[in-house]
Structure 1
Amino acid sequence: MSRLSDRPYVLLSVAASVDGYIDDNTDQRLLLSNDEDFDRVDEVRSSVDAILVGANTIRRDNPRLLVRSQARRDQRLAAGLPESPIKVTMTSTGDLDPTASFFTAGEVSKLVYAPSDSVVKTMDSLAGVCEVVDAGDPLNLTAVLDDLSERGVRRLMVEGGGTTHTQFLAADLADELHLVVAPFLNGDTNAPRFVGNATFPQSPAHRMHLTEVRQLGDVVLLRYLPKAPSHA
């Protein structure tokens, strides 16, 4: 897992339909995975130092982002760690609800990275529920990772959504990708996709390295290394 910099090891985690959608356009969250895979994700969560989601994921899905298993929480506590990893998000506008589960669930640190021109607004709207960090103008992913590294984060799990995954992949800042494929088609071209339009270094000329294929009930996990194996 060595890299040329001291930034955290970045693991992207996503579940998508066969046609690449991570949600639909209804008010209900689209369940793409199953209990076996939810437990696998929980195991991965318990192994990292921080979990990052985009602000729109907080608004759309209201995730708690906590380790669910009591045994895994106990293992973290025995190792001198908090029960669950640090929660991290990025926002361009500061428009986040301080009563969202991201902020209220779990006795863990919550970090919100905002561009310089939105820091004051974000601090005002989220006073007392998190720490707001200036991430540059415009918001800079490398600055976010550098700050996390200074806080002792060595492994970062990115759980979405599509805009956030797109940013990390396009910036060549993803070290590992866990892609779970659900056995159905969505078919709504207006629904959120795994990634959006961008120029990606992961291209036909620079194919990702497939390092694991695992069946979990009716879904399949594909584990890729977006960079060459020697850089992972």
Structure 2
Amino acid sequence: MGKIYLIAEATYGEEVTTSDELCFIEDADGKRILDDIFQITSFDDFMSSPNKEEFIQAVFPMIEDYFSEDGTFDFAMIAAIDRNTHIFQWGIKIERKDEDHIEYSCINWKDNPNRNISYHQHIYNITNNVKDGAYIQWIEGFVSSVLNNAEIECSAVSIDDIEPSKRIYLTVDGRTDYTIRTWDYTPIHYDDKGNPDSENIRYTLFKSVKDELSSHGEEVDEGIIPIYWDNEEV
């Protein structure tokens, strides 16, 4: 899997619609194509990529098709987002001039005065103490997604430990303990060798609350979040 995912946002008059995450592109036969683009986190590297124009020509009709039920959009933005930090890296701005013509321009999000533009509501400073190769590619992004879904406001998160396929232990802002209990790991995609490279994780988030005896876990949130990794890097 790549280092980024794509999110498209389309505008129709005053209405705005946002797509699901796009993590790869497949051709008509179901084979992944243009995987190199999904490895690019640098705007300069995207602009110099030999596959840039091919990628743009492939993704435009996909965006049109995705939003087709909403009508013909006036304006669209495709944002490449770092899978681990969920911070915007580069993007493509599309403007419809008339029925037959559109114009596009490429955007370096890091040129924006607010460099940390994030797809998530909050951006966390994460310290990851888990070094196991099976988790290192996805655990920071997964933890960030869990906390964002629960609307946990904080500035720093420490991933302290993990029980394989069970619990992830966190400390938030150096004082509050949380535990993510993972339940089901369901494969959603396989690589060319037939090995899973993405899964849906069903989880419950617990907060440690003091009581008269010691403490107990209080359920905060639950949900399902997809994770992705590159088998060649494991």
TM-score normalised according to structure 2 size: 0.32
Q: Which has the higher contact order (CA 8 A, sep 6+)?
A: 1
Higher strand share: 2
Q: Between Structure 1 and Structure 2, whose CA radius of gyration is higher?
A: 2
**Structure with the largest fraction of helix:** 1
